[in-house]
Structure 1
């Protein structure tokens, strides 16, 4: 088939799932724990996220014949970790349900879909570059924190990329696993597989407003908008409303098992939608399917992953993700700074998004888009 599965797209899908899981599962576990999840509940949440985003990505990619990458909300997990809650995990589940319901509502309201599509491409690319920037600094931070392991990961990546670029990041991942195994306690990662746990929600008004609303805004601004920007930058322009409805419904179904948010991928999407997945854009959809299957496979490892998270240095797996996304960062920076009219606004958007500042529980990606939009609006005013 001219647009059927391919080995190159398979490799890209495997890589996106591997990097997407390995680079941020520790953040997810930390966020769930901060809002009251026990180790078993956190493992259940991680498993529900993996199966929820895996199945959603498979269904959307097959239906639209586009590389639709679905992921958990890493900024949302960071928000949970930074905010915390003492109201119990049931109250957090109620906030997760509110966030999912609002995403479904956004997918049913056409003016919101048009507003998302109307965001100037330079600002969308600048926000994406800001989201990527911090993670792309992880290799440098890993060298400073753990010189031997960090340097070995980078060295393997450079050497393998010299001869086979596609396998440079998998080689770096294997190097990181070896480094973690050499330093982790013998019992780390030994937890057995478990079934997901059904957790009854509790709707606490304070938690709904203080956690549910910020989680919705962060997920929309820091995940769904950049995810659509990645698709558009690679020539794919699907109707955003079905994508929002699909991920919102998946979030609602997975929330009672501990999952905080399922959404469009903002980072690993570049691996499946770009030319590295396949020269022919019509054949990249298979990368989205394989990425979803990879997440489902990792869902079976949620128990051992929760056990290993406390022992593994997060910087090592983040360093692998940073190396994998250097190309996507370069493409986004080039796209947002290419034109003269919006260059200053895009630069401001990038700087604010990359700064990591947070106000009113909302992260820098959203405020970067606001700041860049204001500057661009003032520059165009009266013309």
Structure 2
């Protein structure tokens, strides 16, 4: 049937599953921080739901729009480190001034895209270092799959075993089958708490922004720096490491513009995703890399559902077993981690710098409020510069010996 064939083309099961898993991982890993940040600004239940609605709509528009525009899996996310920053810095800040800081941050991101300075900086980063950065960011999820076996062996091992089996028999549906098996095993193990589910729709709440220079400097500027260094930088690295040479400036321009429009409703930070993007850029999302953009499109659809059911998300988070989320994320990222490590170590001349980037990023260190992705890349670039300078000195041709003045014989060059 033509209609069925068209539906399968627009909604391949592997792409839909990748989008759903990406959103599940993104929401379960950081939604609690969003609620905490909103409460720090004095938000009530309606305003918290509005924050989730604004973020969900913003992510849906950017995921779907940018992925269709560039035919690449462009996945966006809210700023997780930004939410952590806000949870500690918004205490005592009126909601209107907090909204003003969100709008100020959005304008800075928009200007970064319009001026192109961030894209120029990213173009100078070698591919092996970008791949090492991605591998370091994803390492905790790869090891998390096996760490979960200690306390949730039945669920984690079921997910892992079904993934390995499906990779040999039905590789296109490996992650989807692993997810289905994990849901069944977690239900049988009694890990779900369905009594906690509450269904309700979110309503937008508009807050007129107010601008206080102290809040702009203490909240807006750090939010911008953290978002660019800890989110957009590794987000671009994921796309580059996966072979998608998408122009960076338009991505920043549109995410900044979307955040500016939705900031009065609670959209504190929209940016490129890294970890969840890797789920949609891997071969599990679609065997044809030119069709993997569909996974990002379906991630956008799922984010829209999250926004519309903002208040329901919190109850779903409390009902879902954590071991299931981490186990499925682990198997969903295995191929991406493997590919990233292979690319990072492919060039002997950059292996040391790639190893430093990988280790520093995987360490999870946070300095000056900026996450390990930035510091890992900085350490890798520094190592690369030092190594390159050392090789240049070692291979530089020796200077020709000069004749001694007033002598017919060449000077001795050794003892």
Classify 1:373/1:156 alpha carbon distance in 2 versus 1 (closer, same or farther; 3 Å).
same
Q: Superposed, which structure 2 residues align to 1:331-370 within 5 Å?
A: 331-370=339-378
Higher relative contact order (CA 8 A, sep 6+): 1
Mind listing any 5+ residue stretches in structure 2 that lack a counterpart?
A: 1-5, 393-415
Q: Distance in 1 between matches of 2:256 and 2:14?
A: 26
Q: Distance in 2 between matches of 1:78 and 1:174?
A: 32
Q: CA deviation at 1:267?
A: 2.5
Find the structure with the greater CA-based Rg: 2
Q: Superposed, which structure 2 residues align to 1:185-196 within 5 Å?
A: 185-196=193-204
CA-based RMSD of the aligned residues comes to 2.9
Classify 1:243/1:140 alpha carbon distance in 2 versus 1 (closer, same or farther; 3 Å).
same
Q: CA deviation at 1:133?
A: 0.9
Q: CA deviation at 1:331?
A: 0.9
Match of 1:230 in 2: 238
**In 1, are the aligned partners of 2:60 and 2:303 still within 8 Å (CA)?**
yes
Classify 1:167/1:268 alpha carbon distance in 2 versus 1 (closer, same or farther; 3 Å).
same
Mind listing any 5+ residue stretches in structure 1 that lack a counterpart?
A: none
Classify 1:211/1:131 alpha carbon distance in 2 versus 1 (closer, same or farther; 3 Å).
farther
Q: Secondary structure at the match of 2:93?
A: coil
Q: CA deviation at 1:276?
A: 4.3
Q: Distance in 2 between matches of 1:158 and 1:63?
A: 35
**In 1, are the aligned partners of 2:49 and 2:203 still within 8 Å (CA)?**
no
Match of 2:48 in 1: 42
Which of the residues 142, 152, 164 maps onto 1:146?
152
Match of 2:227 in 1: 219
Q: Calculate the TM-score normalised by the size of structure 2.
A: 0.81
Match of 1:121 in 2: 127
Q: CA deviation at 1:305?
A: 1.2
Match of 1:265 in 2: 273
Alignment coverage as a number of residue pairs: 380
Q: Distance in 1 between matches of 2:106 and 2:346?
A: 36
Match of 1:10 in 2: 12
Q: CA deviation at 1:44?
A: 2.7
Q: Superposed, which structure 2 residues align to 1:272-351 within 5 Å?
A: 272-351=280-359
Q: Distance in 2 between matches of 1:67 and 1:119?
A: 21
Classify 1:359/1:315 alpha carbon distance in 2 versus 1 (closer, same or farther; 3 Å).
farther
Q: Distance in 1 between matches of 2:370 and 2:140?
A: 17
**In 2, are the aligned partners of 1:31 and 1:77 still within 8 Å (CA)?**
yes
Q: Distance in 1 between matches of 2:300 and 2:44?
A: 27
